[in-house]
Amino acid sequence: MLPPHVVNKIAAGEVVERPASVLKELLENSIDAGAGRVNVTVAEGGRRLVSVADDGCGMGRDDALLAIEPHATSKIRDVDDIEHIGTLGFRGEALAAVASVSRFRLVSRAEGDAAGVEVVVSGGRVQDVRETGCPRGTLIEVRDLFFNVPARRKFLRSHATELGRLRSAYIEQALAHPGVAMSLAVDGKDPDVLPGGADLAERIRAVFGPDMIQRLKPIESESGGVRVAGFAGIPTLARSDRSEQFVFINGRATSAPLIAHCIREAYRGIIAPDTYASLFLFVETDPAEVDVNVHPTKREVRFRQTSAVRDSVIEAIRRALSASAPPRTATAEQPKAGAVAPGLPELAITNLPQSRAFRYPRLAAFPGDPPYAGPRAGAAGHEEGPAAPADVSGDAKRHSPWSWCRVLGQVGGLYVVLETEDGLVLMDPHAAHERVLFETFMKAVDSGGADVQRLLIPETVALQPGDAERVRKSMAELNRLGFGVSEFGENTFIADALPAAFAGVGANAILVETARQLEQAGPRAGPSSGREEAIARAACKAAVRARDRLSLDEIERLVVDLAAAEMPYTCPHGRPTMVLMGFRELNRKFGRE
């Protein structure tokens, strides 16, 4: 049997790794105590001092003494209580652990008590307990962390590094509880204050500044007993680390392997691998479905039922990023490699003459904007973003991947190379063209129908039995979308009109391709509006395939239209339209950072 003080020190090692873990535990305790205001003070990266003062319920003398005993908690009584836990703490370990490896002071007064209590502990030994005058609530000061555990102290990093982690721990709780007023004072300087009573958007603005929120799209969805809310960063905002990814599960700043997987999946193909989108993700589900007792620091939780959570989270993020797109599952978006319908020529594009590349002008993403934002500072200055035109308005502009770009040329006879204010972009013109066509067409359909062009000579289309069957099933939707298709018997159809957007493509190509795409979408194409979208997606793909050349003018038109698209980052089937390489990434690659 190990003596208790050894047990405590070992346990402390699990809960308290560094000053930031102390801060996290103290903040969670204040939130659990119902605080409306929490003031944090730190000094020397938290090594010298981490202190948290709250106006919560406070503790009486007996409770205050109990609170620093191991496994003393007011939050659960039985192991079953963990199943429907409503508080952040429940293990009763944190205060005991912190008090055993620091010089610790607790001052607290409960509502209704005439006087407060002060408890002083050093390295786990109680030094002093006395009555004291103090406001309602609790103040906990943790000084000289690990003063009695030299092995641990050695693992602490520089003050700056530890301060960075303290800030992250603070921000995490600030985002999880925007209603609580908070402040952080560092090394005796004036505190940064976050006003209380805020909602998430206000809190994000208060923490990250006004620019951040503009580049986020709201997440809001509920399905299968899982509620997903928060904000998803547009793909161009992706960073090389996770410092702007925040995940909250049932109000707890925590993570789960499953959620990390969902995030990767949702952003797959629209951000570069090894980069991380900014994300503020709140997942709420029945507490009984979440196992929070996986790790002493509660850093990680596990879901009991994984599939409902996975589907809901991926779909919620994807839907947020693509405001106009219907809910789709990730698998439905994976295009089949090389699935080219027979008889359709692959798109070829005129090679841009190399010598002219640098003479191409900068194109404003929105007609009417000045084409050129003025000469820019060196590469490092690019991180500040462009000097945006003053009259920027509208949703599209805010989510646009660039405010200006310049077509530099083409590689492999296919990929278009662009310079933008943020760096380098490679664009797949097929995918981009599909996206632009799709959005234009769906907009026309939604606002009362696309223009229809009658064919001078109706086209006869003979299909294979399977394809014919699928076209037959979609006849109503095809007609609604402006395809004048009717049956001619024996798996043959007559087309006498096409939506103007697809004029010149040929009914044959569109019908064959549409049938194949519907086959791939399968039953997921589901309800009628979903089928219409599926048809439109297919038709756009066919139309782009059937085009044989894009001129330079058309490419320039395309980059402008793409910038204005609602979801510019993927084609309607989920394939990326562009690969972005920001100046930050370039600088890193060249060792400039």
Question: Binding segment for ligand ADP among 65-73, 202-210, 360-368, 392-400 (CB under 6 A)?
Answer: 65-73
Q: Does 56 bind Mg ion (CB under 5 A)?
A: no
DSSP character string of 107-149: EEE-TT-SSEEEEEEETTEEEEEEEE---SEEEEEEESTTTT-
Closer CB to Mg ion, 55 or 556, in the complex: 55
Partners of 304 in beta bridges: none
Q: Does 73 bind ligand ADP (CB under 6 A)?
A: yes
- Single residue of 13, 60, 92, 224 touching ligand ADP by CB under 6 A: 92
Question: Binding segment for ligand ADP among 6-14, 85-93, 420-428, 496-504 (CB under 6 A)?
Answer: 85-93
Report the candidate in 388, 398, 404 with the shortest Cα–Cα distance to residue 213: 398
CB of 430 to Mg ion, least distance (A): 55
Helix (H, G, I), strand (E, B) or coil at 223: strand
Q: Does 93 bind ligand ADP (CB under 6 A)?
A: yes
Report the candidate in 260, 361, 355, 346 with the shortest Cα–Cα distance to residue 303: 260
- Beta-strand (E) ranges in 438-551? 452-462, 484-489, 492-499
Phi and psi at residue 107, in whole multiples of 5°? -125, 125
- Single residue of 75, 205, 261, 264 touching ligand ADP by CB under 6 A: 75
Q: Does 568 bind ligand ADP (CB under 6 A)?
A: no
Question: Binding segment for Mg ion among 35-43, 45-53, 81-89, 553-561 (CB under 5 A)?
Answer: 81-89
Closer CB to Mg ion, 89 or 178, in the complex: 89
Residues in contact with 300: Cβ distance below 8 Å, sequence separation at least 6, in sequence order: 254, 255, 256, 257, 294
d(CA 65, CA 59): 9
- Single residue of 46, 58, 89, 574 touching Mg ion by CB under 5 A: 89
Helix (H, G, I), strand (E, B) or coil at 174: helix
HSE-CB at 345 with a 13 A cutoff on CA atoms is 9
Q: Does 54 bind ligand ADP (CB under 6 A)?
A: yes
CB of 90 to ligand ADP, least distance (A): 5
CB of 536 to ligand ADP, least distance (A): 54
Q: What is the DSSP letter of 523?
A: G
Q: Does 365 bind ligand ADP (CB under 6 A)?
A: no
Q: Does 315 bind ligand ADP (CB under 6 A)?
A: no
Q: How far is CA 310 from CA 217, 218, 263, 375, 530, in A?
A: 20, 19, 10, 46, 22
- The closest residue (CB) to ligand ADP is 89
Pick from Mg ion, ligand ADP, none: which does 122 bind, CB < 5 to 8 A by kind?
none
CB of 69 to ligand ADP, least distance (A): 9
- Single residue of 29, 102, 254, 255 touching Mg ion by CB under 5 A: 29
Closer CB to ligand ADP, 293 or 324, in the complex: 293
- Single residue of 85, 94, 444, 567 touching ligand ADP by CB under 6 A: 94
Question: Binding segment for ligand ADP among 89-97, 444-452, 510-518, 562-570 (CB under 6 A)?
Answer: 89-97
Closer CB to Mg ion, 27 or 511, in the complex: 27
Contact 423, 465 (CB under 8 A): no
Closer CB to ligand ADP, 119 or 501, in the complex: 119
d(CA 549, CA 161): 54
d(CA 158, CA 41): 18
Pick from Mg ion, ligand ADP, none: which does 91 bind, CB < 5 to 8 A by kind?
ligand ADP
d(CA 60, CA 406): 68
Q: Does 91 bind ligand ADP (CB under 6 A)?
A: yes
Q: Is 570 exposed, middle or buried (0-12, 13-18, 19+ CB in 10 A)?
A: buried
Closer CB to ligand ADP, 99 or 534, in the complex: 99
Question: Binding segment for Mg ion among 24-32, 275-283, 359-367, 407-415 (CB under 5 A)?
Answer: 24-32
> Tokens 């690990």 appear where?
146
- Single residue of 19, 45, 46, 56 touching ligand ADP by CB under 6 A: 56
Pick from Mg ion, ligand ADP, none: which does 429 bind, CB < 5 to 8 A by kind?
none
Question: Binding segment for Mg ion among 26-34, 127-135, 393-401, 517-525 (CB under 5 A)?
Answer: 26-34
Q: How far is CA 473 from the centre of its chain?
A: 38
d(CA 328, CA 525): 9
Alpha helices in 159-256 (DSSP H): 159-176, 200-208, 210-214
Report the candidate in 454, 457, 473, 476 with the shortest Cα–Cα distance to residue 465: 473
Neighbours of 41 (CB within 10 A): 18
Closer CB to ligand ADP, 96 or 238, in the complex: 96
d(CA 537, CA 436): 11
Residues that bind ligand ADP (CB under 6 A): 25, 29-30, 33, 54, 56-59, 67, 72-75, 89-96, 138
Residues that bind Mg ion (CB under 5 A): 29, 89, 94
